[in-house]
C-alpha cells in the first residue's frame, strides 16, 4: 500500500526531527519511582534502536525550554486526587496555564512532537484514572504540539502496566523510526475529553462499577518483574493465576515474588503468614513484644497472619512498601477459611522449626512455639475484607487460639457484622480529614465518613476495643485536641500510641528518621492525651523498646488501684464456647508491675534476658 501525500510529509518531517542534533527529552513524572523506572527502561530501549533521548526529571527542568524541544516523551503517574506527582507540579502548571492563555498562543509548541504514557490505578475511580497523563496530552495539543502516538494508559488493575508499556514503547519506536503518525490521532479521544470539570460526587454508574471492582495495585512495584513479556506469556500467566469464571486470584506472580522476598509465606490465592521478629526474640528468651507487656500474650506462641492481603489504603508509613494489592470490595477467587487456618498453622510451624539450634532457643520454648495460642490478624492488608472472616475467627477460637484483629477503619458495616474477637483494633492514623487523606491515601472518596462510622461501630462492641495511633513527626504528632475529640466517638477501652517504625528508604515512602519520634515524645503525647480526657483515661503501660505506650479506661481496667490490662485467655475461650453474651471485664487479668507505666523495667519482662546489639558506627566501625 502506498503512502498518501499527508502521510509521506509527516513521515519525512518526523524522521528529520528525530535525527541527530534535535532537542529530545523523556520526562518522568514520578512519586514512588514507578514512572522513573519505566522511563529509564524506555530510554535504554530507544538507545538500542539508535534513538538517543535525554532522561529528565521535570523538577530540574525550565518549562520555557519546551519552546525549543522537537520531541518530548512523558511517562507520568497520577496521584490520588488526579494531581501530578510533586516533581512535575511546576511543569504541569506551566502547561495548563499556557494552554489556556491566549497570549501564549495555540502554536507555541507547533515545532514539537510528543507522546504520553500514563501510570494510574482504577482503584481511585475512573474520573481520576490517569487524569494527569490525559491532561498532559490535552495541554500539549492545546499549545500546538503534535501527538505522534496514541497515549498509552497503564492500568495497574491485574498487573497490566508492564504489558501495556511494552506495546506502547514498540508503537513509539515504530513511529519514530518509520515516521508515520499513529492511526486515529485526528479523532477526538477519551484523553481529549479530560477537562476536570465534572463535579465532585457525580460519578456515573460506570464509574461506580469500576470503583467498586477489586483491583491489584502494582504501581509501587512496576519494573520489578520481567521487562519483556509476550502476549502468549501474559495469557499463560492469567491462566496460571486463576483468572477463570471471571474471578482472578488476588496475588499475581509479581506480587507473590515481591512478598516472598520480604519473608511472607503465601497461602492459597489471597492469604499470608510471616514469623514476627518478636516471636523469634522470645523463642530465644530475649524478650517479648509490647503485646506481651500490655496484654500478656506469649510472643513465641503468636502467629502473625491475614486472610486478605488486599487493603483499601496506601499508607505513607506502610512497612510492607505497598507490595500488596488494593481494593474496595472483594472481587477475587475465595479460599476456604478452614484451609486457610490449617495452612497458616502449618507454615507457621515450619518457620518455628527453622529456629531449632539457634542460640538461646531451648526445647521447651520451641515445643511451645509449635502450638500457637495467639493469632495477630494484622500482618498486611485488611483482614476484615475477607467475606468468611467470622468463620475463620470461629475456627481459631475452636482451637483456643486468641484473635487480635486490626482494621483500617474503612469498612464500618463489616465491623458491625464481626463476631466477638479477643481484641479489636481500629487504626486511627490521623485525627482530621485532611491529615487522614495525606497519611492513609485511601481509595474511598467518602473515606472520612467511613472512618468516623467505623469508630461508631467500635462503640457498639462489648469486647475489648482499641484505638491504634501511629505517631509520625511532622504529620500527625501535634493533633492532641483533634485526637481527644475522637475518643468520645468510639469510646475505646484502650488506646495504643506508638512511634512510627522507620523501615529504610524506599521509593514508596517519603519518611526519614526525622519523622520517627523518640520514646520521650510518645510519652509526652500520651500524657497530654490522657490529661485531655479529664480522668477517663490514664497512662497504664509502656514498652520502651517498641516506643509504645498504652492508655486504658480507668473505670474498667483500674481495680482497687491496680491495672488489669492483661487477658485471661482461658476464660475468654470458655466465654466464647458458652455462647452467652459477655463483656471485656469478664476476661481481664492483673497487669504485672514490671509492665506498668513508669516501672524501671520499661515494660521488659524480668524473666527474659535483656540483649543489646553492639552498634558500631562512624570511625569506630572502621577500626579492626
Percent of the chain exceeding pLDDT 90 equals 55
Mean pLDDT of 445-466: 94
Percent of the chain exceeding pLDDT 70 equals 79
**pLDDT tens-digit series, residues 5-32:** 343 334 434 544 444 445 789 999 998 8
- Res. 497: pLDDT tops 80: yes
The mean pLDDT of the chain is 81
Is 5-193 CATH 3.90.105.10? no
Q: Identify the pLDDT of residue 613.
A: 54
- Res. 485: pLDDT tops 80: yes
Pairing of strands 113-120, 71-77: parallel
C-alpha cell at 362: 531451648
- Res. 216: pLDDT tops 90: no
Short-list 230, 228, 237, 211, CA closest to 158 = 237
- Res. 603: pLDDT tops 80: yes
Q: Alpha-carbon distance 611 to 220, whole Å?
A: 36
Q: Alpha-carbon distance 277 to 266, whole Å?
A: 18
Mean pLDDT of 174-187: 62
Task: Give the three-state DSSP class for 246.
Answer: coil
- Res. 202: pLDDT tops 60: no
Beta bridge partners of 115: 73
Q: Identify the pLDDT of residue 181.
A: 60
Find where cell 488501684 sits.
561
Q: Alpha-carbon distance 3 to 207, whole Å?
A: 41
Query: Which has the higher per-residue pLDDT, 122 or 337?
Result: 337
When pLDDT is cut at 50, 70 and 90, the band that residue 502 belongs to is low
Query: Which has the higher per-residue pLDDT, 503 or 161?
Result: 161
When pLDDT is cut at 50, 70 and 90, the band that residue 472 belongs to is confident
- Res. 402: pLDDT tops 50: yes
Q: Alpha-carbon distance 424 to 557, whole Å?
A: 16
CATH 3.40.50.360 domain residues, the chain? 5-193
Q: Identify the pLDDT of residue 621.
A: 36
HSE value, Cβ hemisphere, 13 Å, CA-based, for 282: 26
C-alpha cell at 325: 494489592
**pLDDT tens-digit series, residues 377-390:** 987 789 999 999 99
Contact between residue 211 and residue 203 where contact means Cβ atoms under 8 Å apart: yes
- Res. 619: pLDDT tops 50: no
Our CA angle for 349, 353, 357, nearest 5°, is 160
- Res. 45: pLDDT tops 70: yes
Beta bridge partners of 29: 76
- Res. 293: pLDDT tops 60: yes
When pLDDT is cut at 50, 70 and 90, the band that residue 327 belongs to is confident
- Res. 530: pLDDT tops 80: yes
CATH superfamily of 263-595: Aldolase class I (3.20.20.70)
Q: Identify the pLDDT of residue 258.
A: 76
**pLDDT tens-digit series, residues 83-116:** 899 899 889 988 988 887 767 778 899 999 999 9
Best-predicted range by mean pLDDT among 315-319, 489-493, 515-519? Answer: 489-493
Phi and psi at residue 545, to the nearest 5°: -60, -35
CATH 3.20.20.70 domain residues, the chain? 263-595
Q: Identify the pLDDT of residue 247.
A: 77
Q: Alpha-carbon distance 606 to 230, whole Å?
A: 59
Amino acid at each position: 500500500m502506498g503512502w498518501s501525500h499527508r502521510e509521506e510529509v509527516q513521515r519525512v518531517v518526523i524522521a528529520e526531527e528525530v535525527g541527530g542534533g534535535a532537542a529530545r527529552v523523556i520526562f518522568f513524572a514520578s512519586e514512588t519511582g514507578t514512572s522513573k523506572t519505566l522511563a529509564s527502561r524506555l530510554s535504554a530501549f530507544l538507545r538500542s534502536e539508535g534513538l538517543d533521548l535525554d532522561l529528565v526529571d521535570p523538577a530540574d527542568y525550565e518549562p520555557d525550554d519546551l519552546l525549543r524541544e522537537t520531541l518530548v516523551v512523558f511517562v507520568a503517574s497520577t496521584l490520588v486526587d488526579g494531581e501530578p506527582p510533586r516533581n512535575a507540579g511546576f511543569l504541569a502548571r506551566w502547561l495548563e496555564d499556557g494552554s489556556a492563555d491566549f497570549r501564549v498562543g495555540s502554536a507555541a509548541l507547533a515545532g514539537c512532537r510528543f507522546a504520553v504514557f500514563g501510570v494510574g490505578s482504577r482503584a481511585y475511580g475512573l474520573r481520576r484514572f490517569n487524569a494527569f497523563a490525559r491532561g498532559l496530552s490535552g495541554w500539549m495539543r492545546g499549545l500546538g504540539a503534535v501527538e505522534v502516538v496514541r497515549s498509552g494508559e497503564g492500568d495497574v488493575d491485574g498487573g497490566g502496566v508492564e504489558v501495556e508499556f511494552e506495546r506502547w514503547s514498540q508503537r513509539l519506536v515504530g513511529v519514530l523510526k518509520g515516521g508515520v503518525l499513529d492511526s486515529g490521532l485526528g479523532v477526538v479521544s477519551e484523553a481529549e475529553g479530560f477537562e476536570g470539570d465534572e463535579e465532585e460526587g457525580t460519578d456515573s454508574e460506570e464509574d461506580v462499577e469500576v470503583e467498586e471492582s477489586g483491583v491489584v495495585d502494582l504501581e509501587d512495584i512496576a519494573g520489578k518483574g520481567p521487562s519483556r513479556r509476550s502476549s502468549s506469556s501474559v495469557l499463560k500467566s492469567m491462566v496460571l493465576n486463576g483468572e477463570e469464571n471471571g474471578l482472578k486470584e488476588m496475588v499475581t506472580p509479581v506480587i507473590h515474588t515481591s512478598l516472598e522476598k520480604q519473608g511472607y509465606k503465601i497461602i492459597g490465592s489471597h492469604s499470608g503468614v510471616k514469623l514476627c521478629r518478636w516471636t523469634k526474640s522470645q523463642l530465644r528468651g530475649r524478650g517479648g513484644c509490647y503485646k506481651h507487656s500490655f496484654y500478656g500474650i506469649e510472643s513465641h506462641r503468636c502467629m502473625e497472619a491475614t486472610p486478605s492481603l488486599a487493603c483499601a489504603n496506601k499508607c505513607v508509613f506502610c512497612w510492607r512498601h505497598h507490595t500488596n494489592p488494593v481494593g474496595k470490595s472483594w472481587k477475587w477467587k475465595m479460599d476456604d477459611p478452614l484451609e486457610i487456618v490449617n495452612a497458616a498453622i502449618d507454615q507457621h510451624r515450619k518457620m518455628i522449626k527453622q529456629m531449632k539450634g539457634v542460640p538461646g532457643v531451648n526445647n521447651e520454648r520451641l515445643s511451645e512455639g509449635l502450638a500457637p495460642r495467639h493469632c495477630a490478624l494484622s500482618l498486611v492488608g485488611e483482614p476484615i475484607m475477607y467475606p468468611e472472616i467470622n468463620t475463620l475467627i470461629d475456627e481459631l477460637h475452636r482451637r483456643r487460639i486468641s484473635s487480635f484483629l486490626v482494621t483500617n477503619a474503612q469498612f464500618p458495616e463489616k465491623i458491625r457484622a464481626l463476631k466477638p474477637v479477643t481484641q479489636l483494633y481500629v487504626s486511627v492514623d490521623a485525627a482530621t480529614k485532611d491529615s487522614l487523606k495525606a497519611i492513609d491515601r485511601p481509595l474511598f472518596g467518602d473515606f472520612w465518613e467511613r472512618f468516623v462510622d467505623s469508630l461508631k461501630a467500635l462503640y457498639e462492641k462489648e469486647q475489648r476495643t482499641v484505638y491504634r495511633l501511629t505517631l509520625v513527626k511532622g504529620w500527625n504528632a501535634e493533633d492532641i485536641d483533634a485526637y481527644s475529640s475522637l475518643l468520645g466517638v468510639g469510646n475505646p477501652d484502650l488506646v495504643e500510641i506508638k512511634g512510627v517504625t522507620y523501615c529504610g528508604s524506599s521509593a514508596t515512602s517519603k519518611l526519614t528518621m526525622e519523622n520517627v519520634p523518640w520514646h520521650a515524645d510518645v510519652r509526652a503525647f500520651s500524657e497530654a492525651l490522657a490529661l485531655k480526657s479529664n480522668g477517663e483515661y490514664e497512662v497504664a503501660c509502656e514498652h520502651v523498646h517498641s516506643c509504645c505506650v498504652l492508655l486504658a479506661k480507668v473505670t474498667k481496667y483500674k481495680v482497687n488501684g491496680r491495672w488489669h490490662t492483661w487477658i485471661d485467655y482461658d476464660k475468654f475461650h470458655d466465654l466464647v464456647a458458652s455462647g452467652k453474651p459477655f463483656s471485656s471485664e469478664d476476661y481481664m487479668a492483673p497487669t504485672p508491675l514490671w509492665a506498668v507505666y513508669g516501672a524501671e523495667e520499661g515494660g521488659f519482662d524480668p524473666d527474659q534476658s535483656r540483649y543489646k546489639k553492639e552498634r558500631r558506627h562512624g570511625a569506630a566501625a572502621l577500626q579492626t
